[in-house]
Every structure is written in C-alpha cells, then in structure tokens.
Amino acid sequence: MARPLHWLATATAMAAVIATAGLVQPATGTPAAAPDPIANGPQAAAPDAAAVTYPLDCKGAPQTVTATAQGDLDGDGRPETVAAVRCEAGSGTPPHAVYVLVQDRNEGARPRVVATLLDPGQRRTVTELTVRDRAVTATLLGYSAPEVPRCCPDVKQLAKWRWSDGKFRQELTDSAARSV
C-alpha cells in the first residue's frame, strides 16, 4: 500500500517535469527584428489637443475639448489628432465641432487645425470619437425638429470620414439617423 509521502513525492516530481518542459521548448518562428532607430527615426507624437486655438466662436465663453482620438489618417507615417470641441455653456447641449490636428515637423511648432469634419452649425453633439483603419468615426446626437428641447437630443447618427484625394470625405454609414 502506498503511503501519503509516496504520493507527495510523485506529485512533486511530476510538477518539476512539467515546469522544466515549459521552460525547455523548441524555438519556433523567427525572432522579431529590432527597430532600426536610424532608419525609422523617433516615433512622432500625436498633436496635443489642449495646445490648439480652435476656430470656434464661443462669444467669450471658454472652449472645451470633450473627446480626442489619434491615428495616421493620411498615410504619411505621422499621427494626427481628431478633437471634438464645444463651447462651455451653463445649460443645454451646446453643439460640437470636430477638427483634425497636425504637428509640424519643425521643433517648437505648435499643433494646428487642418480640417473641420463637423461644423457646429450642424447642431450635433459628439458622444464617441474613434480613429481606426485610417478613418474617423463619430456617434452624433441631434434634433429631429426645431421644437425639440436643446437638452434632449432625439436623433442618433453614425458619421465616418476618410482622407481621399487630398481632403476628408464623409462616407455613408450602414444606418441612417434613428431616434434615441
């Protein structure tokens, strides 16, 4: 009859064999090449949305950046920043503007606005903002009629923009505006 000490020794030996097998495995694949800092240069940082003066007339009220997303939108290897900006209001739902920012290569240069994707005159509010696969996607809330109170948007829409032929073009989305 086996004693408990025998089973404990067997379990310990099996654990040692399994641990050793995990450490001593054949190499598969090829090692990843280390990035060449001379060829690639330092990675560029995305423009800082807080360092920009936006072309948004707030009639003296401060501007607020409510969402940002970063990514290489034009394929030049340098990231752009997309910023949703609105005027700081005491009440209601102030409309957003959506801007694309770039960082010039000159040392000490400030980021600048190069495109307006959503004008505040469209009276939309941005709730989600992403950059993926070189496209900007935003979830927009709006109003179906002028009578709808400005506190309570009743239309939700998905908007998408992509850089093409030297400018941003809005793409059709899979769904039209729908009630919220």
The pLDDT value given to residue 180: 55
Asked, for residue 165, whether it belongs to a domain, the answer is yes
pLDDT exceeds 90 at position 178 = no
The pLDDT value given to residue 150: 79
The pLDDT value given to residue 62: 92
Mean pLDDT of 27-33: 37
**How far apart (Å, rounded) are the C-alpha atoms in residues 150 and 70?**
30
pLDDT exceeds 70 at position 160 = yes
CB-CB contact of 114 with 100 (8 Å):
yes
CB-CB contact of 104 with 89 (8 Å):
no
Asked, for residue 86, whether it belongs to a domain, the answer is yes
* Mean pLDDT (the chain, rounded): 79
For the chain, the DSSP string reads ---HHHHHHHHHHHHHHHHHHHHS----S-PPPPP-HHHH-SPPPPP-GGG---S---TTSPEEEEEEEEE-SSSSSS-EEEEEEEE--SSS-PPEEEEEEE--SSTTPPPEEEEEEE-GGG--EEEEEEEETTEEEEEEEE-SSTTS-TT---EEEEEEEEEETTEEEEEPPSS--EE-
pLDDT exceeds 90 at position 171 = no
The pLDDT value given to residue 107: 76
Query: What total of structural domains would you count in the chain?
Result: 1
pLDDT exceeds 80 at position 88 = yes
Two structure tokens written together for 19: 């641990």
Asked, for residue 23, whether it belongs to a domain, the answer is no
Per residue in 100-138, pLDDT (tens digit) is 999 988 877 889 999 999 999 999 999 999 999 999 999
- Give 4 or 30, the one with higher predicted confidence: 4
Asked, for residue 74, whether it belongs to a domain, the answer is yes
Of the candidates 96, 41, 46, the one whose C-alpha atom is nearest the C-alpha of residue 73 is: 46
The pLDDT value given to residue 138: 96
- One-letter amino acid of 52: V
The pLDDT value given to residue 90: 74
From residue 42, give the alpha-carbon distance in Å to each of 35, 61, 71: 10, 38, 16
Asked, for residue 35, whether it belongs to a domain, the answer is no
114, burial (CB in 10 Å: exposed 0-12, middle 13-18, buried 19+): middle
Asked, for residue 3, whether it belongs to a domain, the answer is no
Asked, for residue 15, whether it belongs to a domain, the answer is no
C-beta neighbour count of 101 within 10 angstroms: 24
pLDDT exceeds 60 at position 5 = no
Per residue in 32-83, pLDDT (tens digit) is 333 444 444 456 789 999 999 899 999 889 999 999 999 999 999 999 999 9
Q: 80: domain range?
A: 43-179
The sign one gets for the Cα dihedral 6, 11, 15, 21 is: positive
The pLDDT value given to residue 19: 46
- Give 51 or 25, the one with higher predicted confidence: 51
The pLDDT value given to residue 154: 92
Asked, for residue 6, whether it belongs to a domain, the answer is no
